[in-house]
Structure 1
Amino acid sequence: MRQLSFEVCPQAVPLSSAQNAAEGSAIKGSMTEIIVSEGSALQPFQLLPALALCNDQQRWLMWLSPNQAMNKQWLTRAGLDNSPVLHMNINAQNQLSLCLKALSAARSHLIVEWSGCLTTQERAALRTCAEQNGTYLFIVRGE
């Protein structure tokens, strides 16, 4: 399988941070959902650099995925070899509760490889929890 590199312009993030500081507002979290088709060139670990750019609060970067081990080479290539990155295996039975706990702790930003269906209620709960706790959440799921 061919893998494409994924880079984000570092100048893009400080503008929103500066705008939030100028407005005096608290940092608000967000949820981004990415739907990929089978054989997609985008791999969830490629989002780690984007998540790191959001990390002006020095939180952990957490990657939740089923049965895929963290690769130190990925972190090095992404410039994250000295960043606090945590990988945890999840499955369809515990993914919602684990995500909500991680979001509620407000100690990390998350990338989640979602297994199965994501209901409207689950999506709303995840978005609300991310926004309330100033956490950036990327959900990557298949069609």
Structure 2
Amino acid sequence: MRSIQQTHHNASYALTNAIGNSQKHVYTASQVSEIVYDPQNPFTLHLLLPFLQQLGHQPRWQLWLSPERRLNRYWINSLGLPENKTIGLNAVSTENTIEMMEKALRSSNFSSVIAWLPAISPEIKERLNQAAKEGDCYGFILQSLPVLQRSLQHNDMFGISHWH
């Protein structure tokens, strides 16, 4: 059984190698990042790919929470991600996706959890960050630019009163 220190070391090692050893900044492991991308130009998502490939060398799984489509195994293989350690789940709602992401981050079973979500409140992001720290896991929230713009126009949907 793997110790927490070893898991933390593995995650820190993956982050250092993905970013490059020449960086002088201190990066903390186990955080959730929001990545806004333009669906017409998916190049932004490929910036995340080297990091996910490095995390794929860990013995833990990678979880993809997709809103409407199943994960394509051909696509996973073409990206160089480990098919045998990649799980894709369809998320029914934003609230459901946040719950699943939080539980997965906290579980220590995953090296990374990637979810498509609209803009989230700072309180929810803090909950996800805390779960990621507890599980020594990286979380990535992918936000399509048009979805982000719509959610900002309807900001009350993601207010504190909506989430428990």
The TM-score with structure 2 as length reference comes to 0.62
Q: Which moved more, 1:127-136 or 1:48-57?
A: 48-57
* Higher RCO (C-alpha under 8 Å, 6+ residues apart): 1
For structure 1, the 5+ residue unaligned runs are: 1-10, 17-26
- Structure 1 residues 69 and 104 mapped into 2: Cα distance closer, same or farther (>3 Å)? same
Where 1:123 maps in the other structure, the secondary structure is helix
Equivalence for 1:72 = 73
Q: Which protein has the larger Cα radius of gyration, Structure 1 or Structure 2? A: 2
Q: TM-score, normalised by structure 1?
A: 0.70
Residue number in structure 2 paired with 1:98: 100
Corresponding residue for residue 12 of structure 1: 17
Q: Secondary structure at the match of 1:61?
A: strand
User: Which secondary structure state, in structure 1, belongs to the residue aligned with residue 94 of structure 2?
Assistant: coil
> Could you tell me the percent identity over the aligned residues?
23
Q: Which residue of 1 aligns with 2:128?
A: 126
1:4-31, CA deviations, whole angstroms, 9 ceiling, x for partnerless residues? xxxxxxx934966xxxxxxxxxx93122
Paired residues, what number? 123
Unaligned runs of at least 5 residues, structure 2:
1-15, 22-27, 149-164
Q: State the SS of the aligned residue for 1:86.
A: strand
Return the structure number with greater helix share.
Answer: 2
CA offset at residue 46 of structure 1?
7.9
Q: CA RMSD in A?
A: 2.9
